[in-house]
A and B are shown apart, each in its own frame.
Chain A
Amino acid sequence: MNKPNSATVPATSGRDIKTIVNASLPRRHAAERRFRWYGLIAISLGLAFVVLMFANIIGKGYSAFWQTYVQVPISFDAAVLDPQGNRDAKAIEGADYGALVRAGLRAVFPNVQGRGELRTLYALVSSDAPQELRRTVMANPALIGATQEVWLLASATVDTFVKGNIDRTLDETERPIKDNQVAWIDKLAAAGKVEQRFNTLLFGSGDSREPEQAGIRGALMGSFYTLLVTFLLSFPIGVATAVYLEEFAPKNRWTDLIEVNINNLAAVPSIVFGLLGLAVFINFFGLPRSAPLVGGLVLSLMTLPVIIIAGRAALTSVPPSIREAALGMGASKLQMVGHHVLPLALPGMLTGSIIGMARALGESAPLLMIGMVAFIVDVPRGFMDPATVLPVQIYLWADLPERAFVERTSAAIMVLLGFMILMNGLAIVLRKRFERRW
């Protein structure tokens, strides 16, 4: 009955099979080699684009981490700062520090005459220089009456020029820096009075319309508050939802419907969440526009499905034997989940949450709708202060005409990428260290 059907299968000897196989081998090997090559090409192409992107961003942005300062002798004239001579703090604070800066510059270049030429001379230093002097004097009133060499923040044009981003051979009308300004800077540089320092303002101050004073601190703090709200809301709710759906919920049409909806939500474009946030949180609940609280609420709507899906995947990877053993020892269902399943699934859940948070960190579109695409100078100090976030800051700077914002935009992108790499790296470390394989 089970006899091989020797009549239809041609009797092939071992040698014949070998010939057939051998004949097809080169073709199959070639196919495999080709496939490997395709893979290699795909990977190297991807890597090439990454390298290109990084090279472009770093090449444009690295110079933003340095800022030019010029040294000017400032005489802290008592007649200007403290005309009454009674060291009244209020009078000193309200004094005309711009006059000190102008006098200092005139002292370096006494030959400069005429209103127009003086204006170009004063434009060498940043418009923040008087404020800088005010802070110095307020901190140390003993300076009044003295004359000191002070390093002043150079203006963005001078900074760009010193960094070599303005071609000095061009005609004066074609570059933002004037011929006499070039001559003055050359003279100062020859005397060792032009210096590049680490750009502390970039990390220490909020946004500004003057490139040399603009910083990302406001945006960083905004991102921090926003993400904090996002994490505090989406992680507990996401984990609770995942645990309930995976461990407690009955399998019926309702839970199926919920599951399909959660999967759908994860794919909804983020701008839709922004519209929802505008309608619900701002228009209905009357929360303030531009607040990190609202931003965090919107972004948690966006991250929730991601966390729920990752959480459920982590829970399913815990083998049923653990659950059965716990139940068999008399644990209640809650104890089984709380004592055994959840701790084992938590690393996977955390990994998923961190990746969701990294996505939220890079999000800008939904924040447009709730007013976080805004110019905010004061660094936010709470969840209700108007704020913006890092990707929005990048978007806003990329749109400004001033040339000096190009390098700052790239620098902000580098900081954002740094945080992204950090978060994704953390996710990998967590997974490597705590994830159990069964």
Chain B
Amino acid sequence: MIKQKLTLAVAATFVLAGAAHAQSARDYISIVGSSTVYPFSTAVAEQFGKGSSFKTPKVESTGTGGGFKLFCGGVGVQHPDISNASRAIKKSEIETCAKNGVKDIVEVNIGFDGIVVASSKKTKPMPLTIKDIWLALAKEIPDPATGKLVTNTLKTWKDVNPELPANKIEVLGPPPTSGTRDAFVELVMDVGCKEFAAIKELEKTDEKKAKAVCATVREDGAYIEAGENDNLIVNKLVANPNALGIFGFSFLEENLDKIQGEAVNGVEPDFENIASGKYPVSRPLFFYVKKAHVGVIPGIKEFIAEFTSEKAAGNEGYLAGKGLIPLPADQRKQVAADANALKTLAP
């Protein structure tokens, strides 16, 4: 039996080794990364495939971190050419990249994604502030009387802010593995907590502790991790008019008949407000290109040109139709020029 197995194993090895040679020439662009950028990247990939003589790129939805892990794996056809990201590349990731020989990376900012706090149309809109949201969702909050940190036991929005209705605090949002959650923590939780004097004091004495207090979301059922699927959150909001949901702007735009976005700090989450930067909860989206692959894998330069063209990323481009908030015009021009010149990240 051992002999038989060995023969099989050897035969399999030969088959695999033979197959490996077939890969030595890849004639399509391989893209990995963020599931937030996926809907935009795929739209560009499709247009690019249709409008050029190149093959349609392959776009994998691996998440931002997973994408960089693959992207920084090395140089060569078996590694992806482009990584999408819903945040800027981290220093540690650049180092990993460099260690594996991926030295020249081109960063392209493609636009913004707004993160909205939304509720069912059946309820009255509830204008929130970033401070309210933090107070409702943080695990530990400063006691209003003493300023000492206590476990968050606030039950209703009225407890948070007397001007808000007495609805139960129930927020459906992404799990910690999600890039949307990272951005939410950075843009809302980290900002909201700074409005409390007690936390500012703590920051001076114990910065690490303050950071943890800011970012830790309560686990007693007020914040419900609803999975990565934003459509699911939308459906749950419709079923439960008292709940709030946190997700990307494009899902609000597609479901305006069922849900409404809550104003944050008095700014409504709409296209104009996010584009102008007035709406406080929006994050930049990126893609990163491995310069060493330009010229090796056909079409990378042309793909960058397509992604940064006015036709795609402009104010009236097809990506805006898919829910991407374009960059301001002058920044867009600059980004396009840098990207097409393959300007690499400073090491």
Chain A interface (Cβ < 8 Å from any Cβ of B): 119, 127, 131, 166-167, 170, 173-176, 208-210, 237, 240, 244, 248-249, 281-282, 285-290, 293, 368, 371, 373-378, 384, 386, 396, 398-403, 406
Contact = CB atoms under 8 A, between A and B. Distances in A.
Question: Which 4 pairs across A and B sit closest by C-beta, in order of nearness?
Answer: A375-B59, A377-B56, A375-B42, A285-B16
Contacts of A285: 13, 16-17, 19-20
A374 B61 contact: yes
26 contacts: A131-B50, A167-B257, A173-B256, A176-B254, A210-B46, A240-B4, A282-B78, A285-B13, A285-B16, A285-B19, A290-B30, A371-B60, A373-B60, A374-B61, A375-B41, A375-B61, A377-B49, A377-B56, A378-B55, A384-B22, A396-B61, A398-B229, A398-B231, A399-B61, A399-B231, A401-B39
B346 interface: no
Interface in B8-67: 8, 13, 16-17, 19-20, 22-23, 26, 28, 30, 32, 35, 38-39, 41-43, 45-46, 49-50, 55-56, 58-62
A74 to B, nearest CB: 20
Given A240-B4, A373-B60, A401 B23 contact: no
Given A174-B257, A175-B256, A403-B255, A386 B16 contact: no
B228 interface: yes
Contacts of B35: 399
B257 A170 contact: yes
A145 B330 CA distance: 44
Contacts of B42: 209, 375
A92 B133 CA distance: 59
A256 to B, nearest CB: 14
B230 interface: yes
B43 A209 contact: yes
B187 to A, nearest CB: 20
Interface string B119-132: 00100000000000
B60 A374 contact: yes
B208 to A, nearest CB: 33
Nearest to A176: B254
B19 A384 contact: yes
A401 B61 contact: no
Interface in B247-302: 248, 250-251, 253-257
Contacts of B248: 401
A375 B254 contact: no
Contacts of B43: 209
A249 B5 CA distance: 14
B5 to A, nearest CB: 9
A398 B251 CA distance: 12
Contacts of A384: 19, 22-23
B257 A175 contact: yes
A289 B69 CA distance: 14
Of the listed residues B35, B43, B257, the one surrounded by the most CB atoms of chain A closer than 10 A to its CB is B257
A432 to B, nearest CB: 34
Nearest to B61: A373
A281 to B, nearest CB: 7
B179 interface: no
A288 B16 contact: no
Contact of A376 (B20, B58, B230): B58
B62 A373 contact: yes
B219 to A, nearest CB: 25
A25 B249 CA distance: 68
B299 to A, nearest CB: 14
Contacts, number: 111
Contacts of B60: 289-290, 371, 373-375
B45 A377 contact: yes
Interface residues of B, number: 49
Given A176-B254, A401-B251, A286 B23 contact: yes
Contacts of B23: 286-288, 384
B230 A401 contact: yes
Nearest to A409: B231
A432 B253 CA distance: 54
Contact of B250 (A167, A248, A401): A401
A372 to B, nearest CB: 8
A290 B255 CA distance: 33
Contacts of A244: 1, 4
A173 B268 CA distance: 14
A59 B139 CA distance: 42
B209 interface: no
A119 B41 CA distance: 23
Contacts of A288: 22-23, 26, 78
A48 to B, nearest CB: 20
B314 interface: no
A374 B78 contact: no
Nearest to B316: A119
Interface string B218-258: 00000000001111000000000000000010110111110
B148 interface: no
B181 to A, nearest CB: 16
B37 to A, nearest CB: 11
Nearest to A258: B1
A210 B50 CA distance: 13
A285 B12 CA distance: 11
A293 B257 contact: no
B326 interface: no
B213 to A, nearest CB: 33
A401 B257 contact: no
A241 B58 CA distance: 38
B114 interface: no
Given A371-B60, A377-B45, A377-B49, A402 B254 contact: yes
Contacts of B121: 174
A259 to B, nearest CB: 13
B323 interface: yes
Contact of A375 (B26, B58, B255): B58
B58 A374 contact: yes
A285 B323 CA distance: 40
B58 A399 contact: no
A364 B309 CA distance: 35
Contacts of A401: 39, 230-231, 248, 250-251, 253-254, 322-323
A418 B19 CA distance: 33
Given A377-B45, A401-B254, A287 B58 contact: no
Nearest to A128: B50
A290 B58 contact: yes
A359 to B, nearest CB: 23
A364 B63 CA distance: 16
